[in-house]
Chains A and B, each alone.
Chain A
């Protein structure tokens, strides 16, 4: 099955600096790569995603890049703010018998702390 590795497990950056979280996946058939943000006491929430036919996607201060050849993808947060402090999870979808994105395999999470 799919295996997703995520690094680093913790990350502290000064407010205003950029943060980068990296993930690798094992299944070359995976074609969907979302990122989730989990705030304290809440469930994970989708913040951005990318499909395998795209190399980069951007949404305001957040961007995701995908390298299919190397099987890795990254989350980039620019101009970090205190409200960016949270746990971030990457994930990859495995293609099932009907080729849908049936279930996600998650990375182990990165605790991001923004230092004021």
Chain B
């Protein structure tokens, strides 16, 4: 089954404790991206990747890092999480002009 898998689905952490949210897709898609969703703001892009070892910033990249060492994986790294990074995070992938496929979302709470 074609899918984008994020882990974990839920995470509560403390300020400053490094964390990684994983994202994996099994569709051989070139493009992958991370979004955060906040009430009243919709979804905003954090980072995207055009292919292996090629990444770039989206609209809200501050406080986040990404890497793309393999085509299928695109982890989101928070080196020092802060409460304003409490949000719902989505990973998405697509090939060319097709629509984006989204993961199930990760609900992150930073206390």
Tell whether A and B belong to one assembly.
no
